[in-house]
Structure 1
Amino acid sequence: MNYRHAFHAGNHADVLKHVVLLALCEALTAKPSPCFALDTHAGRGLYKLDGEAAQATGEAQDGIARLQAEAPRDPAIQRYLAAVRACRSQHGGAAYPGSPWLLGHALRETDRIAACELHPEEAAVLKQHFAADPRIAVHARDGYAALKALLPPKHGAQKFARGLVLIDPPFEAQLAEFDLALAALKEGLARWPQGMFALWYPIKQGRALHPFRRAAAKLPAKSALLLELLVRADDSPLRMNGSGLLILNPPWQFDVAMRPTLDALRRALGEPGASARLEWLREAA
């Protein structure tokens, strides 16, 4: 699976990922001390849904466009839709925010963000987008390797006790990508055990992910939570039928907050056979 993001911006997987990302940011900013966010596979940070790539797939029509039409009253979804409106007020009506833009939108002046992108052209565009924002440091480098270089996080003499690492790889290696991501999570937890870590992953057939879920449950985190949204039955290995997020060290009662959000997304975006899953792999003691 080659998940070049410009072709899929604003689709159902983006909706899930970005709704959850903003909810994590909301929890981080509820406390006054500064926090740090690392986006390991940042892409270009901002997309145009009327561009050639997005128009070629039309996936945003069944993602952000459908959600805007439905406009569920769930608070986390409303927060996400407000962020999309804010992005479009700055960059035009066809704009769609990537995760670096959303992090910059949701976090504060005292917070710091590192955005990594390996593809040279994407990294150059990413750097242009955020050249005027001193909070955001763009790194043209491999995001997995960046966990070793950038964790535990610090900015000058300042060290960050709280924060988030988002791992959102393109899954070009397909199922083998899970081994890379799990190794990165283990490394990240060793370097910053109190940090929150979020791994996004595509779902074609859910049963193929059983080994990943078992391995994720063994990671040395205090707690591990799965959130998955299937917009159709996972009866075809040839298409992305849904996606999920593994959240390590999630905020207190994050499962309680996200359960109605997942249900609302399933109702708004789902076709026949759609389902949502929220499961603790390990709960905090």
Structure 2
Amino acid sequence: MYSYRHAFHAGNHADVLKHTMLVAILRHLALKDTPLVAVDTHAGAGLYRLDGEYAGTSGEAQDGILKLAPALRALENVAPALADYVSVVASFNKKGQWKVYPGSPFVVHELLREGGRDRLKLFEMHPTDAKALAGHVAQMEAGREVAVARTDGFESLKAFLPPPSRRALVLIDPSYEIKSDYAKVTACIQDCLKRFPTGVYVVWYPIIPRPEAHELPRRLKTITNNAGKPWLHATLSIGHVAHQPGEGNQPQGLTASGMFVVNPPHTLKPAMQAALPQMVDILGRGRGKGHVLESS
């Protein structure tokens, strides 16, 4: 149950997609003065070393942030959403170095407004990651604006909806190692839209050869359409690398992922229309590379 560790995948292409969109959403939500409650149902450890044992073992950041950041410097017209995302990640590193990658909790916290108006609720069940997350958050000295709990995010989320301010951003990105996670995500979104129909709900999912993964966006569209709410769906595939003679059919790990957003800001679609093609151009590596962007 506790085998998944995001430290192996930090800064990969899926994080590029997820966090580019998350930054773009939060920038828009910050324009309104009303306090915001942000919830991360599967927060992970919060901060990751790109030069550490886990990320170094997988090397996935080499096809993600470590490939994207230098390539953007050579472009004349960088998509604003991509530039903003890279700037956020760079703020956690000394100039010219890329040794630390902020997970979703720290990306969100970086964009919360000062003065304690906004709140961040973090849930993580993995014992090691939950302990690391609590330690990283303690170093923030953020006080009451950030709360960490080692509880089930799907269930714990319910207590915060609707929030007193009537404004909420919820990120739902389980590991999906357990097949039942797909059904839990759809049930969670259905419940959220009953409790608080106007919240912004963001779902990340892997695109893998499993029926549940292919069904998830379709089910989310149905649920959201039935609730009469707008949605946006984006995917990024970096494609498959052709094997060299003698290599055999070696596994290449995750090559594509998607994001489904319920009640997306109106600024999100144009932002991703500019950003996704540049992601594919820079991170794409072979057959099957591409992106999808659709909305209701």
TM-score by length of structure 2 reads: 0.86
Contact 2:235/2:259 (CA < 8 Å) preserved in 1? yes
C-alpha distance after superposition, 1:136-182 (max 9, x if no partner): 111111110112122222xxxxx1222210001011114x3211111
Contact 2:124/2:130 (CA < 8 Å) preserved in 1? yes
1:133 to 127, 142, 167: 142
Distance 2:156 2:195 in 1: 12
Equivalent residue number for residue 68 of structure 2: 67
Alignment partner of 1:264 is 2:278: yes
SS at match of 1:144: helix
Contact 1:189/1:221 (CA < 8 Å) preserved in 2? no
Equivalent residue number for residue 191 of structure 1: 195
| Structure 2 CA distance for partners of 1:245 and 1:232, relative to 1, 3 Å | same
Distance 1:44 1:214 in 2: 30
SS at match of 1:251: coil
Q: Which moved more, 1:141-150 or 1:13-22?
A: 141-150
How far has the Cα of 1:78 moved from its partner? 0.7
Equivalent residue number for residue 248 of structure 1: 262
Equivalent residue number for residue 275 of structure 1: 290
How far has the Cα of 1:107 moved from its partner? 1.2
Percent of pairs with identical residues: 40
Distance 1:112 1:266 in 2: 34
Q: Which amino acid aligns with 2:274?
A: P
Q: Counterparts in 2 of 1:1-285, with a 5 A limit?
A: 3-71=4-72, 73-89=78-94, 93-109=98-114, 110-131=117-138, 132-134=141-143, 135-153=145-163, 159-174=164-179, 176-205=180-209, 209-219=213-223, 220=227, 222-232=229-239, 239-273=253-287, 274-280=289-295, 283=296
Q: Which moved more, 1:233-242 or 1:42-51?
A: 233-242
Q: Radius of gyration: which is bigger?
A: 2
The count of aligned residue pairs is: 274
| Structure 2 CA distance for partners of 1:38 and 1:207, relative to 1, 3 Å | same
Distance 1:184 1:238 in 2: 31
Distance 1:65 1:34 in 2: 34
Equivalent residue number for residue 156 of structure 1: none
Q: Which amino acid aligns with 1:80?
A: Y
C-alpha distance after superposition, 1:191-229 (max 9, x if no partner): 111100000001124976442232111212511211000
SS at match of 1:130: helix
Distance 2:294 2:260 in 1: 10
C-alpha distance after superposition, 1:10-62 (max 9, x if no partner): 11101111111101101100112211100000001000011111111111111
Q: Which amino acid aligns with 1:87?
A: F
Structure 1: which 5+ residue stretches go unaligned? Answer: 154-158
Structure 1 outlier segments of 4+, above 6 Å? 234-238
| Structure 2 CA distance for partners of 1:50 and 1:279, relative to 1, 3 Å | same
Contact 1:206/1:234 (CA < 8 Å) preserved in 2? no
Equivalent residue number for residue 245 of structure 2: none
| Structure 2 CA distance for partners of 1:279 and 1:233, relative to 1, 3 Å | farther
C-alpha distance after superposition, 1:56-114 (max 9, x if no partner): 11111110100012115111111111111111149x74111000001110111221110
SS at match of 1:215: helix
Q: Which amino acid aligns with 2:100?
A: A
SS at match of 1:88: coil
Equivalent residue number for residue 246 of structure 2: none
User: Cα RMSD between the aligned structures?
Assistant: 2.3
